Amino acid sequence: MAGILDTVDQRTQLVGENRLEILMFRLAGRQLFAINVFKVQEVLQLPKLTLMPQRHPFVCGVINLRGQTLPVIDLSQAIGMRALVPSPASTIIVTEYNRSVQAFLVGGVDRIVNMNWEAILPPPTSAGRQHYLTAISKVDDQLVEIIDVEKVLAEIVPYNAKVSREKLDDPVLEHARGREVLLVDDSNVAISQLRDTLGQLGVKMHVASDGLKALNLLKGWADTGVNMTDKLLMVFTDAEMPEMDGYRLTTEIRNDPRLRGLYVVLHTSLSGSFNDSMVKKVGCDNFLSKFQPDKLVDVVRQRLMLDQVLAG
């Protein structure tokens, strides 16, 4: 399985095509779960596990992987299911989210599937585990639940949305007060972080839970004759979302003359060297990994400085 994950260059070709690859796995039962392959570094048997005193209840312990110490998180227990029992035969999925690397203990890995984002749907309100899901889909008539890993990680290590006083005292940021921004993300945790951080700047926020909803909202405003670059200071969009991802959303924005001038920031938990080529391919103006409040404010400042330069 680890060898299948080495073809990152091939996966970057999916960018802008509204497609993704998911790694499917099981936890404590027969239900299939999944995460985006872009987040996965490797899949392997559990190395020697070292227990830690006063560890979080969801953390089984730590492992040493090629000189790097990684926490091992029981993903089953973290989403409210029966805890898994670690053993030398156990499987772990090593992932990178928001510049941090961790391993998830799982019941067993199924396979990798290439899918269209249009086949990835928001979870129904009746879903018992909806609290920890960002989406659902079907593969070979089997329901696949896509886990909100950002929420899982935020419950283990809560995110910090507080902006440093030094940043907030910047007079340039006064020009953000009262301006409007659009936030596009299917993760409630990510939206909360954006709201908490940007709220300190006094901006007005509109929210859409996926790229298709965001595009319809933008086109609806444009249909009324609104000058979109005057209306919106910027758009923050996640990469992975049901129905339409952030890359396709950006492509659609650039293809609509009424929306083309919008300042679009790809705000994602994806990290790695391939992000630069992704951003350039679809035409984003900026890229930012999630849960970095000061850097988020820096991006807003860059946008405001651009206005000042254009104004002469």
Mean pLDDT of 244-264: 95
More confident residue, 161 or 93: 93
The DSSP code sequence of 32-90 is EEEEEGGGEEEEEE----B--TT--TTEEEEEEETTEEEEEEEHHHHTTSPPP---TT-
Final residue of a domain: which of 135, 156, 177? Answer: 156
What confidence score (pLDDT) does residue 65 get? Answer: 94
Task: Return the closest-CA partner of residue 117 out of 247, 231, 8, 219.
Answer: 247
Burial of 283 (0-12, 13-18, 19+ CB in 10 A): middle
CA distance 207 to 195: 10
Query: pLDDT tens digits for 31-78?
Result: 999 999 888 999 999 999 999 888 899 999 999 999 999 999 999 999
Position 271 pLDDT exceeds 80: no
Position 7 pLDDT exceeds 50: no
Asked if residue 304 and residue 231 are part of one domain, the reply reads yes
Asked if residue 264 and residue 243 are part of one domain, the reply reads yes
Final residue of a domain: which of 122, 156, 190? Answer: 156
Position 307 pLDDT exceeds 90: no
* Whole-number average pLDDT of the chain: 89
Partners of residue 73 on adjacent β-strands = 59, 104
pTM of the model: 0.84
Position 185 pLDDT exceeds 60: yes
The domain of 88 spans 4-156
Partners of residue 236 on adjacent β-strands = 183, 265
Helices 149-156, 188-198: axis angle to 10 degrees equals 60
What confidence score (pLDDT) does residue 4 get? Answer: 45
281 pLDDT band, cuts 50/70/90, is confident
Residues ≥6 apart with Cβ < 8 Å to 140: none
Asked if residue 184 and residue 144 are part of one domain, the reply reads no
On whether the CB atoms of residues 30 and 84 are closer than 8 A, the answer is no
What confidence score (pLDDT) does residue 289 get? Answer: 86
Asked if residue 171 and residue 152 are part of one domain, the reply reads no
The pair of three-digit structure tokens given for residue 56, joined into one six-digit string:
């979080």
On whether the CB atoms of residues 246 and 239 are closer than 8 A, the answer is yes
Query: What residue type is 152 in one-letter code?
Result: V
Asked if residue 170 and residue 146 are part of one domain, the reply reads no
Asked if residue 141 and residue 12 are part of one domain, the reply reads yes
Where does residue 283 fall: left (phi above 0), alpha (psi -120 to 50 degrees), or beta otherwise? left
Position 14 pLDDT exceeds 70: no
Final residue of a domain: which of 131, 156, 181? Answer: 156
Query: pLDDT tens digits for 88-142?
Result: 999 999 999 887 899 999 999 999 999 988 899 888 776 555 588 888 999 999 9
Count CA atoms closer than 13 A to 277's CA, side-chain side: 11
Asked if residue 114 and residue 49 are part of one domain, the reply reads yes
Query: pLDDT tens digits for 198-226?
Result: 999 999 999 999 999 999 999 999 999 99
Query: What CATH number is given to the structural domain containing 132?
Result: 2.40.50.180
What confidence score (pLDDT) does residue 2 get? Answer: 46
What confidence score (pLDDT) does residue 123 get? Answer: 85
Element of type H or E holding 137? strand 133-139
On whether the CB atoms of residues 7 and 61 are closer than 8 A, the answer is no
Asked if residue 55 and residue 99 are part of one domain, the reply reads yes
9 pLDDT band, cuts 50/70/90, is very low
Position 285 pLDDT exceeds 80: yes
85 pLDDT band, cuts 50/70/90, is very high
173 pLDDT band, cuts 50/70/90, is very high
Residues ≥6 apart with Cβ < 8 Å to 226: none
CA distance 198 to 204: 9
3-state class (DSSP) for residue 147: strand
Asked if residue 139 and residue 114 are part of one domain, the reply reads yes
CA angle centred on 113, ends 111 and 119, rounded to 5°: 140
3-state class (DSSP) for residue 100: strand
Among 94-98, 171-175, 295-299, the minimum mean pLDDT is found in 94-98
CA distance 49 to 278: 36
Burial of 120 (0-12, 13-18, 19+ CB in 10 A): buried
Cα dihedral sign for 262, 263, 264, 267? negative
Asked if residue 142 and residue 11 are part of one domain, the reply reads yes
Asked if residue 209 and residue 113 are part of one domain, the reply reads no
Percent of the chain with pLDDT over 70: 89
Q: How many domains does the chain have?
A: 2
Residue located via tokens 């772990």: 92
Query: What CATH number is given to the structural domain containing 274?
Result: 3.40.50.2300
Asked if residue 192 and residue 90 are part of one domain, the reply reads no
Position 235 pLDDT exceeds 70: yes
